[in-house]
Structure 1
Amino acid sequence: MKEVPIWEKSNLTLEEAAAYSGIGINKLRTLTDNEHCQFVLWVGSKRLIKRRKLDEYTEKMFSL
């Protein structure tokens, strides 16, 4: 099975998003617990991070 690089995936797990962005898993959990979070996708109880939306969010933020 072929492995897709993180920077080519559209949705990331918390672990992948933490490795990709440099933001800790616990901080990502806290950010995505908010019901108005634009970069989280819930698949049942599984939490996926929308990579492009996360990039846009971090570009706008001064601090997390």
Structure 2
Amino acid sequence: MIEKEKIIIPVWRKVTMTVEEAAAYSSIGINKIREMLKIPNCPFVLYIGNKKLVKRREFENYIEGNIEL
């Protein structure tokens, strides 16, 4: 059996992140990020079926543009 190598990409190089990666990247809690992703027309959510991913650049811009979350 041939094992596939897992490709590891640093979070700051990814286009999208999981909720867990976004939490680790931003020091914002997982529950708070999930709550933010539920906001209608959230600018940084990407739906892949039922899965929600965080668009990294839009997420960074959203954080930079707000003084309170």
Q: Please report the TM-score for the alignment, with normalisation by the length of structure 1.
A: 0.96
Give the total of aligned pairs.
64
User: What is the DSSP-based 3-state SS (H/G/I as helix, E as strand, rest coil) of the residue aligned with 2:42?
Assistant: coil
- Structure showing greater Rg: 2
Q: Does 1:40 align with 2:41?
A: no
Consecutive aligned runs of 4 or more in structure 1 exceeding 2 Å deviation: none
Unmatched runs of 5 consecutive residues or more in structure 2: 1-5
Residue aligning to 2:3:
none
5+ long unaligned stretches in structure 1:
none
- Tell me the equivalent position of 2:20: 15
1:18 match: secondary structure: helix
Corresponding residue for residue 29 of structure 1 = 34
Q: CA deviation at 1:25?
A: 0.5
Q: How many angstroms does 1:2 deviate by?
A: 2.2
Aligned-residue identity in percent: 47
Separation of aligned partners in 1, 2:52 and 2:37? 8
Q: CA RMSD in A?
A: 0.7
**How does the TM-score come out when normalised to structure 2?**
0.89
